[in-house]
């Protein structure tokens, strides 16, 4: 159901994306009307949250059913404390992915907007739609005399135009639910120290989904479904040496280590120093010892010195059995996202970096090894066009079938054959946007973030 306006994009970006989704190959296959309808559905579903919350269960620490039972107990306690009666939490195992639990999201709900309004940044508003409370740093405007305990409506500044500290804002904003202020206005804005903690506790969110803050942190890991699929597609095995090239915040890194039973070595690289600690923190929390983390630019991860040791980066060529390149991208598949303020130049800037990383990945991969390339965006230039380029540039690479394959096939427009498109996995939420009556596991496979996966074997 459409509750919010379509994602707000700069006109040049909207025109570019429209030309991508209505390219000549697509128009020849499905016609203008179907292609245009799909594109408009994409813009709509990007501004809405998925219909489920996906949990990756730490099945190396406990059986799935035990984690499911513990999670239900914790969430029922949480929800009972904020409502009058007992609440039953529905948690469904995914039928094809053995470490995934799904929770339905209830929404949109009939919530009446209040006169007292708190305005939050777009990123904070998106987090609220996925079940979070409002943390104080995300608040940009509040009533002049707001006190802790006041009932307030929370609205998202979808275009980022509200001045921090304002007492009201009449620009484009989107209602995301009602809550109770946990701080006075003065504690949020009139302080020299950085503000911390929950600023508004949500009691009537427009989309109801449990808050996982502090809930079984070592057993239940919040992760989008396609991101879990990536780890299974990579297919790690015990004893292997595996490289995660752009690893922060470490969710996929930890999943790889779990899938190889923490036997072998997972090397995690990321060039942003303040993100490295998060990877180590996640590995420690999940009790994983096979992960080695380095702050390093993966485009330079191949050593030119044949006598160099292989312990830390840069590495000699053909050092790894499997490589995951979850590439930096434009992120246009993320949901919910009510506004993207990037220019067309920024949107199109990732392809050269992705190719540099890809070149390093191929050199670092052993013969007979597996390379998985993934993004969380919907463009052709960062997805299918990169695959066409890779197959032409590296004759040693062959596309491989993916397991599980629960997304759609690749999109037309990059000149790839039907056989090759079927080997790709593109999560396209616009294709199932109208199918609201399907059972949760079936609905969850289609109603995801926009995502792309390709799997190669190096001959």
Write out the DSSP string of 285-316. Answer: HTT--SEEEEE--GGG-B-S-TT--SSSSSB-
What's the farthest any 2 CA atoms get from each other in the chain? 70
Q: At 189, list the tokens.
A: 């804005």
Q: At 219, list the tokens.
A: 């057993």
pLDDT category at 13 given cuts 50, 70, 90 is: very high
d(CA 21, CA 332): 13
29 is in an annotated binding site: no
d(CA 382, CA 404): 22
Please say if the pLDDT value at position 309 is more than 90. no
Give the pLDDT confidence of 61-119 residue by residue, as tens digits: 999 999 999 999 999 887 776 654 556 789 999 999 999 999 999 989 999 999 999 99
314 preceded by a cis bond (ω within 30 of 0) = yes
Give the pLDDT confidence of 322-349 residue by residue, as tens digits: 999 999 999 999 999 988 999 999 999 9
The arithmetic mean of pLDDT across residues 286-307, rounded, is 93
Q: What is the pLDDT of residue 310?
A: 63
270 is in an annotated binding site: yes
249 is in an annotated binding site: yes
d(CA 202, CA 181): 9
Helix, strand or coil, per DSSP, at residue 357: helix
Contact 158, 338 (CB under 8 A): yes
State how far the alpha carbon of 438 is from the alpha carbons of 105, 351, 409, 441, in Å: 14, 36, 20, 8
Please say if the pLDDT value at position 290 is more than 80. yes
In the 8-state DSSP scheme, what is residue 123? H
Catalytic residues: 376
199 is in an annotated binding site: no
356 is in an annotated binding site: no
Of 351, 421, 444, give the one whose Cα is nearest residue 101: 444
Q: What is the pLDDT of residue 80?
A: 74
Helix, strand or coil, per DSSP, at residue 407: coil
Cβ neighbors of 48 (< 8 A, separation 6 or more) are 2, 3, 4, 129, 335, 336
Q: What is the pLDDT of residue 84?
A: 45
Give 214: exposed, middle or buried? Use CB within 10 Å, 0-12, 13-18, 19+. exposed
Please say if the pLDDT value at position 308 is more than 80. no
Q: Can you give the pTM of this predicted structure?
A: 0.95
Number of CB atoms found within 10 A of residue 424's CB: 24
Give 307: exposed, middle or buried? Use CB within 10 Å, 0-12, 13-18, 19+. exposed
Q: Determine the angle formed by the axes of helices 251-259 and 225-234, rounding to 10 degrees.
A: 40
Please say if the pLDDT value at position 194 is more than 90. no
The arithmetic mean of pLDDT across residues 41-54, rounded, is 95
Torsion of CA 128, 131, 136, 139, to 10 degrees: 10
297 is in an annotated binding site: yes
Instruction: Tell me the average pLDDT of the chain.
Output: 94
Q: What is the pLDDT of residue 439?
A: 82
CA angle 408, 426, 228 (to 5 degrees): 105
The arithmetic mean of pLDDT across residues 364-383, rounded, is 98
Of 322, 298, 124, give the one whose Cα is nearest residue 235: 322
The arithmetic mean of pLDDT across residues 394-409, rounded, is 98
248 is in an annotated binding site: yes
Please say if the pLDDT value at position 39 is more than 90. yes
pLDDT category at 193 given cuts 50, 70, 90 is: confident
Of 384, 270, 256, give the one whose Cα is nearest residue 328: 270
């Amino acid at each position: 159901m459409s509750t919010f306006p379509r994602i707000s994009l700069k006109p040049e970006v909207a025109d570019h994306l429209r030309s991508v989704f209505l390219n000549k190959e697509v128009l020849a296959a499905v016609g203008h009307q179907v292609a245009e309808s799909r594109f408009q559905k994409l813009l709509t579903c990007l501004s809405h949250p998925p219909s489920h919350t996906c949990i990756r269960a730490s099945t190396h620490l406990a059986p799935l059913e035990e984690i499911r039972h513990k999670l239900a107990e914790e969430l029922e306690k949480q929800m009972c404390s904020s409502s009058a009666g007992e609440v039953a939490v529905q948690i469904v195992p995914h039928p094809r992915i053995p470490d995934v639990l799904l929770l339905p999201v209830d929404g949109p709900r009939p919530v009446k907007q209040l006169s007292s309004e708190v305005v939050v940044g777009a990123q904070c508003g998106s987090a609220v739609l996925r079940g979070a409370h409002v943390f104080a740093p995300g608040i940009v405007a509040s009533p002049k005399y707001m006190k802790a305990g006041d009932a307030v409506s929370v609205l998202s500044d979808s275009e980022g135009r509200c001045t921090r500290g304002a007492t009201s804002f009449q620009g484009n904003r989107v209602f995301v639910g009602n809550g109770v202020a946990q701080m006075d206005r003065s504690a949020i804005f009139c302080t020299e120290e950085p503000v911390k903690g929950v600023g508004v506790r949500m009691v009537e969110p427009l989309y109801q989904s449990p808050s996982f803050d502090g809930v079984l942190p070592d057993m239940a890991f919040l992760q989008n479904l396609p991101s879990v699929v990536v780890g299974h597609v990579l297919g790690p095995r015990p004893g292997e040496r595996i490289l995660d090239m752009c690893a922060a915040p470490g969710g996929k890194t930890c999943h790889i280590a779990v899938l190889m039973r923490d036997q072998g070595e997972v090397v995690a690289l990321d060039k942003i120093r303040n993100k490295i600690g998060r990877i180590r923190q996640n590995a420690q929390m999940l009790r994983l010892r096979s992960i080695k983390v380095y702050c390093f630019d993966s485009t330079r991860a191949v050593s030119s010195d044949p006598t160099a040791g292989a312990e830390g980066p840069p590495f000699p060529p053909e050092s790894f059995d499997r490589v995951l390149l979850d590439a930096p991208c434009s992120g246009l598949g993320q949901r919910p996202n009510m506004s993207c303020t990037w220019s067309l130049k920024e949107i199109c800037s990732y392809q050269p970096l992705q190719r540099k990383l890809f070149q390093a990945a191929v050199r670092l991969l052993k013969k007979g090894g597996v390379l998985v390339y993934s993004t969380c965006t919907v463009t052709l230039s960062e997805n299918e066009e990169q695959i066409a380029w890779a197959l032409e540039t590296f004759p040693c690479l062959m596309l491989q079938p993916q397991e599980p394959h629960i997304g759609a096939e690749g999109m037309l427009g990059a000149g790839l054959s039907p056989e090759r498109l079927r080997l790709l996995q593109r999560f396209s939420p616009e294709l199932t946007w109208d199918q609201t009556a399907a059972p949760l596991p079936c609905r969850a496979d289609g109603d995801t973030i926009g995502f792309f996966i390709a799997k190669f074997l190096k001959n």
